Amino acid sequence: MKYCSDCGAKLVEQIPANDDRLRYVCPQCEIIHYQNPKVVVGCLPVAGDKVLLCRRAIAPRMGYWTIPAGFMENGETMLAGALRETREEAAAEVCDEVLYRLFDIPHINQVYVFYRANLNGGFGIGPESLESALFSEADIPWSELAFPIVTDVLTEFFADRKTGEYPVRVSTPSPLWAKHVGWEPDTDKTL
Amino acid sequence: MKYCSDCGAKLVEQIPANDDRLRYVCPQCEIIHYQNPKVVVGCLPVAGDKVLLCRRAIAPRMGYWTIPAGFMENGETMLAGALRETREEAAAEVCDEVLYRLFDIPHINQVYVFYRANLNGGFGIGPESLESALFSEADIPWSELAFPIVTDVLTEFFADRKTGEYPVRVSTPSPLWAKHVGWEPDTDKTL
Ligand SMILES: [Zn+2]
Ligand SMILES: [Zn+2]
């Protein structure tokens, strides 16, 4: 961030009055340009004892399996975003959606919010996917999952399925994996 | 958003390739400047049968009672942000934090995430508060709460307290209240 998006003036970094962090401030129009985490929303579509995964057609982790997810847009709810991503990436409709899993990923300034839902009909292949497929627990390609948070959600889901209890969890994955897959803070890269 | 924050060029609004929404695009460096919802994090501090509320010293809804909450910062977890806001607004430390309540507020492009926690010692008055106080259910100033989401969280909390079950809920408040309190989309106003 170098220029004011409101007036085009060169920004300066300073700690504003009544604040304790460096911000980008416009010396011309005095606007403080805050930078805040982004929300990624997704959905785990369930069909009987199987879940629907997509194989990524895009970087990062192209060719690896993931859960439909992407950046939440202005003007939509988290669930609406999760359903949109499920349509876009897996050409799938779902029903009976329930909030399921949150992740903090502070080193890339992202929050993930996943719903569980039942697959409602067929599915297909979106432009950002190479293929989509249903997997039972025994068939999950554990070594070919795109991100550790996908491993976490699937591991928890199959354990929860045995108890019938699906608590809403929130945790932070290890920062090491972001480095592993080549993610950098403040980029618009996502699942 | 009028100017490219990377190069200062005048932005144009267009639908990028493989997209279906108008975005601000820089004709010079070709960066797409996405706009995404912001996360507000907060905490409901509990002490015995009472909860800690703060009376707002700032607009909007100055003089009305609310739960400690504010914009999540880059580099922090949702819980870290909720604890920071609890310190800043109520000079309070808490423990035993549990995820409790999410709200979508799509008309102002915000997501709210509230934790429940136990008050750990005393409390005070932060610079954005006029006073802080503990309230039992019978004493809650229902007609002087700052926002309908505060009413929702408190109503649910005292009902949940009777059952001992605190499910994590997510819902959208009516868009009418934002108009009522003078909020506008895309501003940096918060609870
Ligand atoms: Zn400016
Ligand atoms: Zn530019």
Query: What ipTM goes with this model?
Result: 0.92
Chain B residues touching A3 at Cβ < 8 A: 3-8
**B21-65: per-residue pLDDT in tens?**
999 999 999 999 999 999 999 999 999 999 999 999 999 899 999
Residue whose structure tokens are 């876009």: A88
Phi and psi dihedrals of A99, rounded to 5?
A: -60, 135
Q: What residues does A101 pair with on adjacent strands?
A: A114, A169
- Does domain B38-180 fall under CATH 3.40.50.1370? My reply is no
Q: Residue A168's closest chain B neighbor by CA?
A: B168
So what's the pLDDT on residue A175? 65
Best of A2, A4, A5 to substitute, by most chain B Cβ atoms within 10 angstroms, is A5
Structure token pair of residue B64: 């009305």
What share of residues in chain A are helix, strand, coil (percent, to 5)? 25, 35, 45
So what's the pLDDT on residue A186? 46
Output the CA A35–ligand 1 centroid distance in Å. Answer: 15
Residue whose structure tokens are 């505060």: B150
So what's the pLDDT on residue A176? 65
Give me the residue from A7, A37, A186 closest to B39, CB to CB. A37
On the question of pLDDT at B178 being above 70, the answer is no
Asked whether the beta carbons of residue B170 and residue A73 sit closer than 8 angstroms, the reply is no
So what's the pLDDT on residue A181? 58
- Does domain A1-35 fall under CATH 3.60.21.10? My reply is no
Ranges under pLDDT 50 in chain A: 185-191
- How far is B175 from A32, CA to CA, in rounded Å? 27
Sorting pLDDT into bands at 50, 70 and 90, what band is B190? very low
Among A151, A115, A152, A121, smallest CA distance to A134 is for A121
Residue A184, burial from CB neighbour count under 10 angstroms (0-12, 13-18, 19+): exposed
Minimal CA separation from A5 to chain B, in Å: 4
How far from A78 is each of A71, A98, B106, B172, CA to CA, in Å? 10, 11, 9, 10
| Residue A75 neighbours by CB distance under 10 Å | 15
Q: Residue B100's closest chain A neighbor by CA?
A: A168
**B139-175: per-residue pLDDT in tens?**
999 999 999 899 999 999 999 999 999 999 999 987 6
Collect all residues with Cβ–Cβ distance below 8 Å to A163 and sequence separation of at least 6. Answer: none
So what's the pLDDT on residue B92? 97
Q: Where are the domains of chain A?
A: 1-35, 38-180
DSSP state of B110: E
Is residue A8 left, alpha or beta, with left meaning phi > 0 and alpha meaning psi from -120 to 50?
left
Angle formed at CA A27 by CA A25 and CA A28, multiple of 5 degrees: 120
* Entry field: residues in chain B: 191
Q: Classify each residue of A6-17 as buried b or exposed e, where b means 16 or more C-beta atoms within 10 Å of its C-beta.
A: bebeebeeeeee
How confident is the model over B170-184, as a mean pLDDT? 70
* Entry field: residues in chain A: 191
B181 or B113, which is more confident: B113
Output the CA A10–ligand 1 centroid distance in Å. Answer: 8
Output the CA A104–ligand 1 centroid distance in Å. Answer: 32
Asked whether the beta carbons of residue B172 and residue A77 sit closer than 8 angstroms, the reply is yes
Output the CA B30–ligand 2 centroid distance in Å. Answer: 6
Among B90, B71, B70, B61, smallest CA distance to B151 is for B61
Phi and psi dihedrals of B88, rounded to 5?
A: -65, -40
By a Cβ cutoff of 8 Å, what residues of chain B touch chain A?
Answer: 1-8, 10-11, 18, 21, 33-39, 71-80, 99, 102, 104, 106-107, 109, 111, 113, 127, 168-170, 172, 185-186, 188
Asked whether the beta carbons of residue A8 and residue B3 sit closer than 8 angstroms, the reply is yes
On the question of pLDDT at B177 being above 70, the answer is no
- How far is B44 from B153, CA to CA, in rounded Å? 9
Q: Is A152 helix (H, G, I), strand (E, B) or coil?
A: helix
Residues B154/B66, Cβ–Cβ less than 8 Å: no
**B106-149: per-residue pLDDT in tens?**
999 999 999 999 999 999 999 999 999 999 999 999 999 999 89
